[in-house]
Structure 1
Amino acid sequence: MAINLELPEKLDSTVERSHLAAEHIFRPISRKYDLAEHEYPVELDELGKLAKQARTTERAAEGEKDSGEDTVNGANLRAVLNARELSWGDVGLMLSIPGQGLGNAAIAAVANEEQLERFGDVWAAMAITEPGFGSDSAAVSTTAVRDGDDYLINGEKIFVTAGSRADHVVVWATLDKSQGRAAIKSFVVPLDAEGVSVERLEHKLGIKSSDTAVIRFADARVPADNLLGTPDIDVKKAFGGVMQTFDNTRPVVAAMAVGVGRAALEEMRRMLEEAGHPVDYDTPVAVQHAAVAEFIRLESDWEASWLLTLRAAWMADNATPNSLEASMSKAKAGRTVTEVTNKAVEIGATGAYAETELVEKWARDSKILDIFEGTQQIQQLIIARRVLGKSSADLK
């Protein structure tokens, strides 16, 4: 059986448009906003408008089956291609494009048709983590209490990407703490709503061009129909609805890692060739320079990361459960990008460690890609549960 790994022609425009933006908009200002943390990249405003126009055009084509095929190549595959190309330019700037927040992926994952229409053009951040927990998403303590036609939300969220720049935020909150994880729901909350305040912005190791905020909710009132999914508490289904968000966003984060990794591999190859050690795929690795052998090994891991990411996104487009595959792509890509970028710094020595090149920046940026949307350890745990058929209670 032959497997065709070529992307459909209808996605060529996405790749070309995103790469041009990465090359001609992101790369030239990458160092500027790395040094000017918390300063808004005004150069992205026009790009945000163009992206909005492109999304409007693409929505009409989403869900269409390719000619002669029984499968769909839609929004999820397009999202990972876009993330890969833009992150090759600058992953922090990619996370700062107006209208393309992680919360938008959450809306796309679980919103109904009316909500998809109503929130189609918002810029939504994602608020999950709290001061009292990180990886254990079931430990949400932010509350949402029904009050007539509204919900009142109270709590504090930390590490909210684009939290001071987006116009909405998708907030995870519990309807009833006594019901455990089954009562956790996600809400689309306008950031200008009364009771919502940005408390501070974090200073970070990497992705400095992207803001990371602490947001407090004090009796923040939102309409009941801003709840994504059903308000019913079903202990049998636990909080599968909100967790479905990760099945969409983890492949996108994996694609970000693939983009940064490709940038580092390209630079590593250039450095090797300048040093007189070209990569030769027709010669056994064992007889090539040690640094070349290391490059080939890392490149193969990078290729595996990308193939896993494509599979997870394709499954999401075709309504196939992909929790295992989403975690596999995130785990592999997150681990690989940190190894690739650090090896690029090592091979580049003093030149790659200095701020004269972007290599040292990629090494700093890459670490978060192995952490947010679920750490390496959490992904390994999820994969083990799926492979072994264990529940979260059976395998912790």
Structure 2
Amino acid sequence: MINLDVPAKFAQLVDQAHQAAAEFFRPHSRKYDQAEHTYPRELDMLAALLDGLAASGGGAGAGGVRRGGTQAAGNQNGANLRLLLGTIEMCWGDVGLLLSMPRQGLGNAAIASVANDEQLARYQGKWAAMAITEPDTGSDSGAIRTTAVLDGDHYVLNGEKIFVTAGERADCVVVWATLDRSQGKAAIKSFVVDRGTPGFTLVRLEHKLGIRASDTAHFRLEDVRVHKDNLLGSPDIQGFAGVMQTFDNTRPLVAAMAVGVARAALEETHRILTEAGIPIDYDRPALTQPAAAATYLQLEADWEAAYLLSLQAAWMADNRKPNSLQASMAKAKAGRTATDITLRCVELTGSLGYSENSLLEKWARDSKILDIFEGTQQIQQLIVARRLLGKSSTELK
């Protein structure tokens, strides 16, 4: 049986993450939204603190968690759920600043998912970004054109990567490339490319609608030589599942980001409505309350569903159960819910929500990316349909 109550042993973690969000993220949220591409130096001290928490087993950042070990008797509430709860609290503070945290990149989740023990040790303490999207390849990651050709002890990578979160600031980038285009998805592999590697060129940084505190990079790879030891997982062309394990880790985290920013918007809207004389009464049917209160209750119910789906995906990972379906369900529900909630909160609060006097308009902008990256809403629905109907990617497109 799945128990989705927050474990008592994680109460201190949740409190610490919330304090970090309240004391570090919220006060600097507007500053770095307006100063796009400026690195938030205030995060260095917080990153050192989180490194200490992670070392003691209480990490609260966005880095990856690796599955492993043996299944103990009974339900397990472990590292994946702990990480997800911490991410929710931090994104209650600011999504862009969390994505700017040193050593907490989405590439770290990729390394944690499929790296061997030697690679885990070698990249311990490194900040890793992840590069999947290409100019001609968006949501269909199986159509990647960046190539990796084995030459002696090195792979030679050629191609372009766009929308790389924290690409300029990270120590290394996990690059997805194909060993053989003719083999389709089965030949897609991920490679860790250290920044400064010859031929690995930063083309530009993107200007964005939201998460402006986080840099988003465009890279070009021209004859980039990467040692074969930097290939994550097996070098054999045997299936797409290896690299796709990354998404089982990262999609629940993105769902958690969406849950966090949506909760922030709900709390602020609750405050504004209450001060305006529109109380939210949980003991009365929604249809007997003012329209704004009824709408708020509906939004809160949607948030609860997204929250529970996210917890379920993390719980299944902790209990070593396949969670690809649940990860996609959580990502799809939370991504859409966050955009719906934040935009409706702006609508409910009128001029207060639309102006920069409140963070509501910023949260509305920030939330949109959470419905797009790590697989768009449409891709998540397609994955869920395939899983439920037992169809392959060829049978259901």
Settle same-fold status: TM greater than 0.5: yes
Alpha carbons 1:84, 1:259 under 8 Å: kept: yes
| AA partner of residue 310 (structure 2) | T
Match of 1:190 in 2: 194
Structure 1 residue 209: deviation in Å?
0.4
User: Is 1:134–2:133 an aligned residue pair?
Assistant: no
Match of 1:97 in 2: 101
Match of 2:307 in 1: 306
2:222 match: secondary structure: strand
Match of 1:292 in 2: 293
Alpha carbons 2:189, 2:232 under 8 Å: kept: yes
Alpha carbons 2:67, 2:317 under 8 Å: kept: no
What are the residue-to-residue correspondences of 1:9-24 with 2, within 5 Å?
9-24=8-23
- Over 3 Å counting, the alpha-carbon distance change for 1:319 and 1:3 in structure 2 is closer
| AA partner of residue 285 (structure 2) | P
Work out which of the residue numbers 151, 172, 179 in structure 1 matches 2:176. 172
What are the residue-to-residue correspondences of 1:1-396 with 2, within 5 Å?
4-58=3-57, 70-234=74-238, 238-396=239-397
Match of 2:62 in 1: none
The C-alpha deviation readout for 1:229-264, integer Å capped at 9, x for no partner, is 100111xxx211101111110000000000000000
1:125 match: secondary structure: strand
Task: Compute the TM-score of the two structures, normalised by the length of structure 1.
Answer: 0.95
Structure 1 residue 62: deviation in Å?
8.8
| AA partner of residue 393 (structure 2) | S
| Gaps in structure 2 of 5+ consecutive residues | 60-64
Task: Compute the TM-score of the two structures, normalised by the length of structure 2.
Answer: 0.95
| AA partner of residue 284 (structure 1) | P
Alpha carbons 1:63, 1:74 under 8 Å: kept: no
Structure 1 residue 59: deviation in Å?
8.2
The C-alpha deviation readout for 1:47-74, integer Å capped at 9, x for no partner, is 1111122222218999899xx9523322
Q: Which moved more, 1:79-88 or 1:205-214?
A: 79-88
Q: CA RMSD in A?
A: 2.0
Q: Structure 1 CA distance, aligned partners of 2:176 and 2:379? A: 19
Structure 1 residue 316: deviation in Å?
1.5
The C-alpha deviation readout for 1:253-308, integer Å capped at 9, x for no partner, is 00000000000000111111112111111111111111111111110110110100
Alpha carbons 1:34, 1:209 under 8 Å: kept: yes
Structure 1 residue 5: deviation in Å?
3.0
Q: Structure 1 CA distance, aligned partners of 2:153 and 2:198? A: 16
| AA partner of residue 136 (structure 1) | D
Structure 1 residue 224: deviation in Å?
0.7
Structure 1 residue 221: deviation in Å?
1.5
Q: Which moved more, 1:160-169 or 1:174-183?
A: 174-183
| AA partner of residue 348 (structure 2) | I
2:80 match: secondary structure: helix
Structure 1 residue 347: deviation in Å?
1.0
- Over 3 Å counting, the alpha-carbon distance change for 1:111 and 1:45 in structure 2 is same
- Over 3 Å counting, the alpha-carbon distance change for 1:372 and 1:273 in structure 2 is same
